[in-house]
Chain A
Amino acid sequence: MAESAIAHDHGVSHGAHASSTGLSNNKMGMWMFLGSECLLFGGLISTYMLYRGRVSSGPQPNNIFDIPFTSVSSFILLMSSLTMVLAVSSAQRKDDRNTNLWLTITALLGATFVGGQVYEFTAFYREGLGFTTSLFGSSFYSLTGFHGVHVSVGIIMLMALVGMNRNNRIPGDKAEVVELIGLYWHFVDIIWIIIFTLVYLIPS
């Protein structure tokens, strides 16, 4: 929850001296936040790994996953990392037009991914896997749901960033703000790389 707050607090402007390490406060804060998030997703992934085989009622994981569909949505999220890094590189060149363009495309790709997840959840629900059906259901929806919420928060941040950038209302170093949100976005992507392999591709 703190990420956008971190992204916009400016250490440089109130420290009376340059930082001891020469690094940006904001970026250091963001990396620490991501390090901390590893423990969060680690807990959720471990819970899922422990419980994925425990199906007292309802469908088994292997019968329900639609690998081709999820592969496509994973690919879309992976490509959104490319568009994000292009946005960061445009922002570093102070190319506002392309920054906004790539940020918008990233947000759209992210939205496609979340849309795919909503479709997947409804399909699973129709096939009889509810949140309360089994341990598999509870832990699967919690893990992927948490990831989906992270993606959605990322989309909101990207869109806010585009809006603020258009009106020139980003306080502080614009390229750094784009870079920080980029870090968050890539992190969400690498978490999905793990989830895609451990949850979808390796059968229980």
Chain B
Amino acid sequence: MSTATTHEAATENHEVEHHGLSDKQYIVIALILAALTAIEVSTYYVDFGPFFMPTLLILMVIKFVTVVSYFMHLKFDNKIFSYLFYAGLLLAIAVYCGFLATFKFFLKQG
């Protein structure tokens, strides 16, 4: 078995897997992200009342997932990459929320 052929085969697979978006679509996503950021910043000027925290947290998650899914291609790529990354992310969230919970952190904030 020669390396050259496997390498080419691997490259071909590689290109087939790329269902990335077109440049125009990337720009549209960037505009959406910019708009979301504008809403986030507007909370500083406009009083959102009880919706203040939920709005900010939800927008944060949407922006995060959008960048990960589209700009980082996770939505189009092999699921294994998603598992590896989200394993780390969810573990981090779980462990550190547990950690802050032992300090009664969330109660104090409420």
Contact = CB atoms under 8 A, between A and B. Distances in A.
A16 B1 contact: yes
Interface in B80-110: 80-81, 84-89, 91-93, 95-96, 99-100, 103, 105
A73 B85 CA distance: 27
Contact of A194 (B18, B64, B81): B64
A168 B98 CA distance: 49
Chain B, interface residues (CB within 8 Å), range: 35 or more
A27 B57 CA distance: 30
B78 A85 contact: no
A28 interface: yes
A85 B26 contact: yes
Given A16-B1, A28-B80, A197-B59, A34 B88 contact: yes
Contacts of A19: 10
Given A23-B78, A67-B41, A186-B67, A197 B3 contact: no
B51 interface: no
Interface in A163-204: 173, 176, 179, 182-183, 186-187, 189-190, 193-194, 196-198, 201-202
B71 A78 contact: no
A32 interface: yes
Contacts of A28: 80-81, 84
**Smallest CB-CB A-B distances: 6 pairs:** A35-B88, A42-B92, A82-B30, A197-B60, A38-B88, A38-B92
Given A46-B99, A89-B23, 4 more contacts: A16-B3, A24-B10, A86-B26, A193-B64
Interface of B: 1, 3, 6-7, 9-11, 13-15, 18, 20, 22-23, 26-27, 29-30, 33-34, 37, 40-41, 43-44, 53, 56-57, 59-60, 63-64, 67-68, 70-73, 78, 80-81, 84-89, 91-93, 95-96, 99-100, 103, 105
28 contacts: A12-B3, A12-B7, A13-B3, A13-B7, A17-B6, A19-B10, A21-B78, A31-B84, A35-B87, A35-B89, A38-B89, A39-B88, A41-B92, A43-B96, A45-B96, A46-B96, A67-B41, A74-B37, A79-B34, A82-B27, A84-B71, A89-B22, A92-B20, A186-B71, A196-B40, A197-B57, A201-B40, A201-B44
